[in-house]
Amino acid sequence: MSKSTVEQIRERFDGDVERFANLETGQSATIDAPLSLALIAGAASRVTPQATSLLDLGCGAGNYSLKVLEQFPGLNVTLVDLSRPMLDRAVERVSRATAGKVIALQGDIRELQIGDSQFDLICAAAVLHHLRAENEWHQVFAKLYAALKAGGSFWISDLIEHTDARVQSLMWDRYGSYLTQLKDAAYRDHVFEYIAQEDSPRPLMFQLDLLRSVGFNQVEVLHKNSCFAAFGAIKAK
The domains located in the chain, with CATH, are 6-234 (3.40.50.150)
Q: First and final CA of the chain: distance in angstroms?
A: 44
Contact 36, 223 (CB under 8 A): yes
Residue pLDDT, tens place only, 80-138: 999 999 999 999 999 999 999 999 999 999 999 999 999 999 999 999 999 999 999 99
Q: Is the dihedral of CA 28, 32, 36, 39 positive or negative?
A: positive
CB 59 within 8 A of CB 86: yes
pLDDT of residue 5: 74
pLDDT digits (tens, 9 = 90+) for 145-162: 999 999 999 999 999 999
Cα dist from 25 to 21, 30, 84, 205, whole Å: 9, 10, 21, 28
Q: For 6-13, what is the mean pLDDT?
A: 65
Mean local confidence (pLDDT), 135-146: 98
Read off the pLDDT of residues 21-66 as tens digits, 9 standing for 90 and up: 455 545 788 999 999 999 999 999 999 999 999 999 999 999 999 9
Rounded Cα distance between 138 and 177, Å, is: 33
List CB contacts of 140: < 8 A, sequence separation 6 or more: 109, 110, 128, 131
Contact (Cβ atoms closer than 8 angstroms) between residue 156 and residue 223:
no
Q: Is the pTM of this model over 0.85?
A: yes
